[in-house]
């Protein structure tokens, strides 16, 4: 289902300079669901800018797997219609709204200092105009956990959207000269970039010399692909310098630190050997006790057996006894009368 019709929504904020907290617009309908606009007069996440966000109303009431892909544009103007701010330069952004991301917006819409200049805002009124053109409507779909969203031309997993969005927020020109066009290649390079950023957040002492060399090669590859990464190069240079100071082979302090580490490792190993020897001695004692117990048991059994075993009888005596039994002549009592 698609809805190519553009919806324009406008609301006015009176006494704007007196506003401190969140300002929320009434709901409006587009693309099969309701929307509203949130305005933060003192900024959201960026304190010196006005922030504005488009939000899906009651997203929990929508079916599992719902999605809206829409083109957005925002214009801020004063009462006379003078345009104070427009959201795009090279075309309006296309965003995907879903259960994980029911809102998109502009945290740094306009500097507060500029907004409050004398005569800039007539009669202390701000007019917010938002246009929404829903390109795709998905009311229900299977959720696999591998769903992706487009963030500045890069398809990223839902769980990565926050990190990638922050990268572009802090460094908006990072991918202006990015060369690869294949979406698969772009996704691969984005994963490499996120991994590099995470790696450079580690303490300098946790790196080895080879790891620093590999990290610089990764940075070079990403730069050749078109990423603008001067800020990461500066950070890597700082880490390399600090690592070199703490690992200089000619430094006595470095040598002493290494020697201390080796001594601590040696003490730990010696303690382990001592514990193993104690365990071995204990097992030897237990084994010796078991052997003694078994030997005593065998001796007792032999003594008991010797007490109950009959003495041997000579063969000729036995034969005589048998013979005696054979020659005995018993009287025939079968015809005797019984009294």
The 10s digit of each residue's pLDDT in 38-54 is 999 988 877 788 899 99
Query: Taking Cα atoms as reference points, which of 107, 101, 191 lies closest to residue 149?
Result: 101
| pLDDT at residue 158, rounded to an integer | 82
End-to-end CA distance of the chain: 126
CB 56 within 8 A of CB 102: yes
Distance between alpha carbon 276 and the CA centroid of its chain, in Å? 39
CA 338 to CA 192: how far, in whole Å?
122
Q: 0.75 cut: is pTM over it?
A: no
Q: What is the pLDDT of residue 259?
A: 65
Q: Taking phi first (over 0 means left), then psi (-120 to 50 degrees means alpha), and beta for anything else, what does residue 32 get? A: left
Predicted local distance difference test score (pLDDT) of residue 320: 45
> Which stretches of the chain drop beneath a pLDDT of 70?
1-4, 88-92, 118-119, 248-260, 285, 291, 298, 308-339
Structure confidence by residue, pLDDT tens digits, 73-90: 889 888 888 888 887 644
Which residues lie closer than 8 Å to 178 by C-beta, 6 or more apart? 186, 189, 225, 226, 227
**What confidence score (pLDDT) does residue 302 get?**
73
């Amino acid at each position: 289902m698609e809805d190519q019709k553009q919806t324009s929504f406008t609301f006015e904020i009176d006494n704007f300079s007196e506003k401190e907290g969140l300002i929320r617009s009434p709901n409006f309908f587009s693309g099969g669901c309701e929307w509203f606009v949130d305005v933060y007069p003192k900024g959201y996440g960026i304190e010196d800018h006005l922030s504005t966000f488009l939000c899906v109303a009651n997203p929990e009431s929508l079916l599992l797997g719902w999605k809206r892909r829409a083109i957005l544009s925002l214009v801020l103007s004063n009462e006379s219609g003078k345009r104070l701010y427009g959201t795009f330069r090279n075309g309006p952004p296309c965003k995907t709204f879903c259960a994980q991301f029911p809102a998109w917006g502009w945290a740094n819409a306009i500097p507060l200092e500029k907004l409050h200049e004398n005569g800039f805002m007539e009669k202390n009124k701000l007019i917010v105009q938002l246009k929404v053109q829903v390109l795709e409507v998905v009311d229900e779909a299977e959720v696999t956990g591998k769903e992706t969203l487009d963030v500045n031309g890069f398809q990223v997993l839902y769980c990565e959207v926050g990190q990638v969005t922050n990268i572009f927020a802090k460094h908006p020109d990072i991918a202006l000269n990015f060369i690869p066009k294949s979406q698969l290649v772009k996704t691969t390079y984005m994963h490499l970039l996120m991994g590099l950023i995470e790696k450079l957040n580690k303490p300098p002492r946790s790196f080895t010399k080879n790891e620093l060399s590999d990290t610089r090669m990764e940075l070079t590859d990403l730069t050749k692909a078109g990423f603008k990464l001067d800020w990461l190069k500066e950070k890597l240079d700082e880490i390399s310098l600090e690592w070199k100071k703490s690992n200089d082979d000619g430094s006595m302090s470095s040598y002493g630190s290494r020697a201390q580490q080796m001594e601590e490792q040696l003490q730990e190993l010696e303690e382990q050997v001592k514990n193993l020897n104690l365990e071995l001695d204990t097992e030897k004692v237990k084994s010796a006790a078991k052997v003694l117990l078994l030997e005593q048991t065998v001796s007792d059994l032999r003594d008991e057996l010797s007490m109950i075993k009959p003495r041997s009888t000579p063969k000729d005596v036995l034969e005589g006894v048998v013979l005696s039994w054979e020659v005995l002549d018993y009287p025939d009592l079968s015809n005797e009368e019984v009294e």
